[in-house]
Amino acid sequence: MGTQGTTTINFGAFPGSSDTSVAVTGQATILSGSLVEAWLSPVATADHTADEHLVETIRVMAGNVVAGTGFTIYAVNTSQLNEPLTSAGAGNFRSAATTVYGGSAPSVGGIGTRIYGQWSVAWVWN
């Protein structure tokens, strides 16, 4: 196995964001053609337990290798859950006429889930 280490990625304070990245530097012997891998590691952070690391929908990958310097770790929320679209206002139900003829009122919702806080990441390159 090649050079290895750990770092944290941070999606920010709640409600967080859908993606983030972190630069790993200090890799003086890394080459532009080096292969780099990164993955979520089940190690608790101040924001999340080790168990949360096992079940969360975060995809982690490494790229942007800079010879003699390091690389970048990218993390993306892959959850496909979305809030349902509903009519603005007190009621969540549209009338039959609105459904048939189309509503003109704006809808609310439809925003995908976001991840917040710090997560542990392990990495290796060779």
Mean pLDDT for the chain?
A: 85
- Digit-coded pLDDT (tens) for 18-46: 999 999 999 999 999 999 999 999 999 99
What Cα–Cα distance (Å) separates residue 30 from each residue in 3, 68, 71, 79, 121?
Answer: 9, 5, 9, 33, 19
CATH assignment of 3-79+114-125?
A: 2.60.40
Looking at residue 79, what is its pLDDT? 82
What residue ranges do the domains of the chain occupy? 3-79+114-125
- Across residues 69-75, what is the average pLDDT? 98
Looking at residue 1, what is its pLDDT? 73
pTM score above 0.95: no
Looking at residue 86, what is its pLDDT? 60
**Cross-strand bridge partners of residue 115:** 17
